[in-house]
C-alpha cells in the first residue's frame, strides 16, 4: 500500500505541474513531458540534501539540480520540439521566461520534495510493518519475527545481533547492509554498526538515539538523516 501511495502522490504532483505548464500555452503532451523532468530532480534534491554536510555543499547541490532542470528543458525545446524553417534551418521552440527562472523552478522542486517527504512520513505511520514478518537462522534454528517487533540490528564483526522490543536477542551471519535492504524503509542506518526501527527510536541528542531501553550512538555520517527522520525528544 505504501508503494501505491507513493505512486499516487507523484501522479497527482506531476498532473498539477502539467496543469501549470498548460497555462503557459504548452500542449498537454508537452506539459507532461516537461513535468516528468521535475520528478527525478526533486527526488535527487530530497534524498541528497540531508547527506550534504556543509552549507556550501547544499548550495552546490541546489545549483546542480537547477542547472539539470534547465538543460533538460532546453533539450526538449531545441532538439525534440525543434522546427525546420523554409530555408532548411533548424529552429528551437521558444522557452517561456518563467521556465528558466531559478526562483520559479526552485519553488516547484522544493514543493515536490517537501510534499513527498511529509506524504512518505504519513504513509509510514498509516501503513506500518506490523503484519510483515521475516525469517532467518540463528544458532542453526529458524526464527520468524514480525518486522515491527525488531528494535534494532547491531553488527559485531562477523555477525549481527537482532534485538527485539521485548529484549530478546538473536545472532545471525547476514551482513548489516543486507539487513538494511531486507527490513526496508521502516529502519534507518544511524551508524556503520547500527540499524534502528524508526517507529521506536528517539533522537535525544545529535549524537544519541534511544531504542528498547538502549542508548545507541549516531555517527557523523548519519547525523543529518537521523535528525530529519527521527523525532527529537
Q: What angle do CA 130, 132, 133 make, to 5 degrees?
A: 115
Q: How many CB atoms lie within 10 A of CB 87?
A: 6
Q: Does 10 lie in the same domain as 103?
A: yes
CA–CA dist 218, 189 (Å, integer): 9
- Per DSSP, what are the bridge partners of residue 169? 163
**Res. 88: pLDDT tops 80:** no
Residues 8 and 121 in one domain: yes
CA dist 129 and 146 (Å) reads 8
Last residue of a domain, one of 126, 155, 170: 126
Domain boundary among 126, 150, 185: 126
Instruction: Check whether residue 114 and residue 11 sit in a common domain.
Output: yes
183 neighbors 175 (Cβ within 8 angstroms): no
- Within this chain, do residues 222 and 150 fall inside the same structural domain, yes or no? yes
Q: What is the pLDDT of residues 12-65, one digit of tens each?
A: 999 999 999 999 888 999 999 999 999 889 988 888 887 777 888 889 999 999
Check whether residue 153 and residue 70 sit in a common domain.
no
Structural domain ending residue among the three candidates 126, 143, 174: 126
Q: pTM higher than 0.75, yes or no?
A: no
Mean pLDDT of 171-178: 92
Among the ranges given (7-21, 119-133, 201-215), the one the predictor scored with the smallest mean pLDDT: 119-133
Highest mean pLDDT among 117-121, 170-174, 225-229: 170-174
**Which residues neighbour 25 within 8 Å (Cβ) at sequence distance 6 or greater?**
96
Q: What is the pLDDT of residues 121-130, one digit of tens each?
A: 787 766 665 5
Looking at the fold, whether 20 and 106 belong to one and the same domain comes out as yes
Q: How many Cα atoms are found within 13 Å in the side-chain-facing hemisphere of 140?
A: 0
Domain of 162?
Answer: 133-229
Q: Say if residue 10 is in the same domain as residue 32.
A: yes
Q: Are residues 152 and 171 in the same domain?
A: yes
Amino acid at each position: 500500500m505504501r508503494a501505491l501511495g507513493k505512486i499516487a502522490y507523484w501522479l497527482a504532483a506531476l498532473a498539477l505541474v502539467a496543469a501549470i505548464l498548460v497555462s503557459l500555452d504548452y500542449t498537454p503532451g508537452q506539459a507532461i513531458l516537461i513535468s516528468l523532468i521535475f520528478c527525478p530532480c526533486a527526488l535527487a534534491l530530497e534524498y541528497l540534501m540531508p547527506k550534504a554536510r556543509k552549507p556550501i555543499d547544499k548550495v552546490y547541490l541546489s545549483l546542480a539540480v537547477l542547472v539539470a532542470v534547465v538543460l533538460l528543458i532546453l533539450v526538449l525545446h531545441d532538439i525534440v520540439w525543434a522546427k525546420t524553417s523554409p530555408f532548411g534551418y533548424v529552429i528551437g521552440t521558444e522557452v517561456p521566461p518563467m521556465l528558466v527562472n531559478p526562483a520559479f523552478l526552485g519553488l516547484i522542486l522544493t514543493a515536490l520534495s517537501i510534499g513527498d517527504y511529509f506524504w512518505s512520513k504519513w504513509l509510514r505511520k498509516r501503513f506500518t510493518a506490523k503484519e510483515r514478518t521475516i525469517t532467518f537462522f540463528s544458532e542453526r534454528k529458524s526464527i520468524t519475527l514480525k518486522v515491527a517487533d525488531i528494535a534494532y540490528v547491531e553488527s559485531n564483526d562477523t555477525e549481527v545481533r537482532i534485538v527485539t522490543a521485548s529484549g530478546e536477542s538473536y545472532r545471525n551471519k547476514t551482513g548489516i547492509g543486507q539487513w538494511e535492504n531486507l527490513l526496508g524503509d521502516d529502519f534507518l542506518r544511524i551508524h556503520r554498526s547500527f540499524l534502528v526501527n524508526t517507529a521506536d527510536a528517539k533522537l535525544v541528542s545529535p549524537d544519541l538515539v534511544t531504542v528498547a531501553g538502549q542508548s545507541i550512538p549516531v555517527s557523523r555520517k548519519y547525523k543529518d538523516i537521523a535528525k530529519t527522520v527521527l523525532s527529537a525528544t
